[in-house]
A and B are shown apart, each in its own frame.
Chain A
Amino acid sequence: MAHEHGPDHSPGHDEHAHDDAHEDHVVPLSTYFWVFMGLMVLLVITLVAAYFDLGALNLPIAMAIAVAKMMIVVLFFMHVKWSSGLVKTFAGATMMWLVIMFLFTLTDYISRGWTQAGR
């Protein structure tokens, strides 16, 4: 590797000045390595969790692990951890739209047949 990372200002303070936003946050190699190791551990946990039959908990646990993997990828690989508040908002809003779609549509499907009019 040519040269190690230059600016290492603490996360969360990238926004306070225009000059700072100019500089790219170069993440140390070790961070990426441990993030990758973390993802590998979560992959193993995914399989271990599927090995045990936990009944109704199977799906929530599998989804919780998948969400943990997603958060790691989004925060570190996609640099949201070091991004501006606006980018964080966009990333969060994406999840919000998805939740709205699931919530409203499922509300419809689940509640069908609850009233006489629905039959």
Chain B
Amino acid sequence: MASDTHAITAPHAGHAHDDHDERDHGHGALQHQFEDMAQQKESISLAMWLFLATEVMMFGGLFFAYTLYRSLYPAAYDFGSRHLNIDLGTINTFVLLASSYTMALAVRSAMLRSPKVSAFFMFVTWVFGAAFIGIKAIEWGHDYHIGLIPGVAWFWFDQHPDAAQQLIAKHAGPHQVMMYFAIYFCMTGLHAIHMIIGLALVGYFIFLSLKGQFMGGNHQPVEILGLYWHLVDIIWIFLFPLLYLIGGFHPGQSHDGGGGQGGGGH
């Protein structure tokens, strides 16, 4: 912060132990390495943003792999995308955006020092998050049954030799589609792992909030959790159009290959 000259000034004795006081000044406890609460709050926020930057770079690697293979094999991506369920993808996008809304409300309530209201909104967030994972499980289960999971259940093209021939005519083939699905499962899988971690944390924070952990202005942990949740939401905001909507959106038309048939060409 601004005043380095005062860095050596001894802190007021006992100040660091002024835990949980209800006054405006008592935003949790001031740790001895910080000059004041503002600096401490800022440092904690920055640390979280730094962590989020590493998260963005980790997902960024996958987004790059996606970009490169899509530029090499557009027909395979188009084909693979048509075998995802856009309806479920759309519902999941709505669910995640709604969960971000309720998470923002939970943070707001925590700021207003209403831990019970905050816990309620975190619970709603948790339910939305769990719904997301449930819907994802349905999608993955479907992929398993029709044989579009590389290395686990990959037999769709054995049952649809015509589709493979059409793809080869477009300079792509089953192997390139396999690459699309490998990237699809890596990206949505890593995202789902983040969702599950988020669900565990939100569940824990509901418990802490009801216990009164975030009373007396000590609500920054809830803000930090919110930042994490919103980042995971942002990842999905990009995954949805990139993975599901390559082949376009056609209302009323089945996008999952009709349970294993058709969907081969355009």
Contacts and interface: CB of A to CB of B under 8 A. Distances in A.
B41 A73 contact: no
Interface string B30-59: 000000111001100110011011001100
A78 B233 CA distance: 11
A46 B42 contact: no
Contact of B237 (A22, A47, A50, A70): A70
A56 to B, nearest CB: 11
Interface residues of B, number: 56
B230 A97 contact: no
Contact of B249 (A5, A21, A39, A50): A50
Contacts of A63: 241
Interface in B41-82: 41-42, 45-46, 49-50, 52-53, 56-57, 60-61, 64, 67-68
Given A21-B41, A66-B238, A102 B67 contact: yes
Contacts of B240: 46, 66
A105 interface: yes
Contact of A1 (B103, B114, B227): B114
A84 B108 contact: no
Given A66-B238, A78-B230, A43 B94 contact: yes
Interface of B is mostly: helix
B230 A73 contact: yes
A66 to B, nearest CB: 5
A46 B46 contact: no
Interface in A58-101: 58, 62-63, 65-66, 69-70, 73-74, 76-79, 83-84, 86-87, 90-91, 93-95, 97-98, 101
Pairs A-B, 10 closest by C-beta atoms: A50-B249, A21-B38, A90-B49, A94-B53, A62-B241, A50-B245, A36-B101, A77-B104, A2-B114, A24-B111
19 contacts: A1-B117, A2-B117, A18-B38, A21-B41, A22-B24, A22-B27, A23-B24, A32-B104, A36-B98, A40-B97, A46-B241, A46-B245, A51-B250, A53-B248, A62-B245, A66-B238, A70-B234, A87-B46, A106-B64
Interface of A: 1-3, 5, 18, 21-24, 26-27, 29, 32, 35-36, 39-40, 43, 46-47, 50-51, 53, 58, 62-63, 65-66, 69-70, 73-74, 76-79, 83-84, 86-87, 90-91, 93-95, 97-98, 101-102, 105-106, 109
